[in-house]
A and B are shown apart, each in its own frame.
Chain A
Amino acid sequence: MSDGGTARPVRPRPRLRTLGITAGLLAFTVFAANEVGFDASTSWEVWTNPLWEMFWPIPWDWVLDRSNVLDPLVETFQIAILATIIGCGLALPISFAMSRLTAPNRPTYLVSRSVMNVVRAVPDLFWAKLLVTAVGIGAFAGTWALSIFSLAVMVKLFSETIDNADPRPLEAARASGSRHLPAIRTGVLPTVLPEYVAYALYVFELNIRASIVLGLVGAGGVGRVLEAQRQFFRFDRVLGILLIVFVAVFVIEQVSVALRKRLV
């Protein structure tokens, strides 16, 4: 260039820190494997276990019988849809209370934030067990457990989106003498609504999978059937159920991902 004295920079050397971190990770892996008694010879025992032969052949008559798998699968989806609507519906106002940009005052901000942190700290499986104990085995407990899970995930994602929203329309609303709620509704909500819908779809995807896991602890749906067949050592049926679930989850995810891409 024409200005004198602008020398090309020297290419930076690969950093010692990167090498150090890699070496540290390797050392920790070996240490952890030793501690838990993992050694390569045991993996042979796992994969040659006669258990694996019990997965074949798949009893398609039983698997495709509506009342065995498909009806519980529909129940799983019903749980997931209901939980998504309840959880994400509750998350909308709570997220605005949890965001620095839109919280009406500092106490609301702090209280909503800490309550949601506590809710998130309790694992979803534990919520499910708790609710099964409280309201009995079945889809009702599963729906509530999953609603709480959806709420916890949603407020985390959405309140961060609100934090990063453009504050300038909000200033314009305040400058025209607006109260707090209408200012948020008109100045912030339209800018974050597409993200809200996209996150709700994402939470729905998580819920489909999570509702199957929750079924394992008695919270209804296809997970309960899966657990029952496992307990009877009917692994051929288990494989059939897993295949059906895989196809259903795959289709739903593809649709949801396509929808989300169009939104944001």
Chain B
Amino acid sequence: MIRFDDVSVTYRGGVQALRGLDLTIEDGEFVVIVGLSGAGKSTLLRALNGLVPATGGSITVDGAEVVGASAAELRALRSQIGMIFQTFNLVNRTSVLNNVLMGRLGTVPAWRSTLGLWPADDRERAMQALERVGIVEKAYVRASNLSGGQQQRVGIARALVQEPSVMLADEPVASLDPVTSRQVMGDLRRINRDLGITTIVNLHYLDLAREFGNRLVGLRDGELVFDGDIADVDDDTFMEIYGRAISDDDLVGTEDDLT
């Protein structure tokens, strides 16, 4: 279980990205977070794994406190939390397999990963993760030679190979076209259902949020303004979260829209 209790994040420049956020997420949930850019979606995810330190309140993951945790505690926590990024964050000049193996950095002894001596067991897990996202045949290809959708699958495999209990996805489809976006969102939902991994996805596109989410959380100016079942959500709810009318830019659309 994940608990945010009165969490605030103020950046060094004085920008308040989160204000007194309360949120509880049960094991195995698939939560979609929506909000305008700058609403604090990214900060929320990064506060959860300590990449951005919370400046107030308490965040616990399965009872372990994140705020004020030591470096070793943070590493242990992060190895349990997979993360997927908008820009994939792959190492372009190395193989897909090496990229996926980076997901094992939290568990493999530092000297082994530094020397590139990955245990056979971890290589096997990396291969299995690539099989799960359906691109195992690209294992020895350079990451830069893949398409955007394939690169994001490598990103998902890298998070999966951690065998995490929580998966964070920060705008995972913002750099992809509509068809690939739906495939990647489908991958995430399948992984959530098959493996029971608690999944939190930041999304900008409202139609995708409706299609794939179970529970919707709305952020506006760092505050939680909506939390409920996706079935209860209509356009008025989105207008309330966004503070303006919905436009085409808020929808990923379908392939038909492009022709």
Contacts and interface: CB of A to CB of B under 8 A. Distances in A.
A165 to B, nearest CB: 10
Interface string B153-164: 001001100100
A191 B92 contact: yes
Interface in B102-149: 102-108, 110, 113-114, 116
Given A182-B105, A182-B113, A177 B79 contact: yes
A218 interface: no
A71 interface: no
Contacts of B82: 176
Interface string A178-191: 11011101110011
A138 to B, nearest CB: 37
A238 B81 CA distance: 70
A252 interface: no
Interface in B52-96: 74-83, 85, 87, 89-94
Interface residues of B, number: 37
Contact of B51 (A171, A179, A194): A171
B77 to A, nearest CB: 7
Interface in A152-179: 166, 168-169, 171-179
Given A168-B85, A168-B87, A182-B113, A176 B92 contact: no
A55 B156 CA distance: 71
A190 B114 CA distance: 12
A187 B76 CA distance: 19
A191 B91 contact: yes
A230 to B, nearest CB: 49
Given A181-B110, A185-B113, A176 B78 contact: yes
A182 B79 CA distance: 14
Given A176-B106, A178-B102, A194 B93 contact: yes
Given A176-B105, A182-B110, A186-B113, A169 B89 contact: yes
A193 interface: yes
Contact of A187 (B83, B87, B102, B155): B102
A186 B126 CA distance: 15
A92 to B, nearest CB: 13
B192 interface: no
Given A176-B78, A181-B110, A186 B90 contact: no
A178 B87 contact: no
B110 A186 contact: no
Contacts of A166: 92
Given A168-B87, A182-B114, A177 B93 contact: no
Contacts, number: 86
Contacts of A178: 75, 102, 105-106, 113
Interface in A74-90: none
A145 to B, nearest CB: 32
Contacts of A172: 83, 85, 89-90, 102, 155, 158
B227 to A, nearest CB: 25
Contacts of B198: none
Nearest to A193: B93
B98 interface: yes
B91 A175 contact: no
A185 B93 contact: no
Q: For A166, A178, A191, A193, which residue has the most chain B Cβ atoms within 10 angstroms? A: A178
B8 interface: no
Q: For B89, B94, B103, B110, which residue has the most chain A Cβ atoms within 10 angstroms? A: B89
Nearest to B75: A177
Nearest to B104: A176
Nearest to B95: A190
Interface in A170-220: 171-179, 181-183, 185-187, 190-191, 193-194
Given A176-B158, A178-B102, A182-B105, 10 more contacts: A168-B85, A172-B83, A172-B158, A173-B105, A175-B81, A176-B82, A176-B102, A177-B75, A177-B76, A186-B105
Interface of A: 166, 168-169, 171-179, 181-183, 185-187, 190-191, 193-194
The 3 closest A-B pairs by CB, nearest first: A177-B106, A177-B79, A178-B105
9 contacts: A166-B92, A172-B102, A175-B78, A175-B81, A177-B75, A178-B75, A178-B106, A182-B110, A185-B113
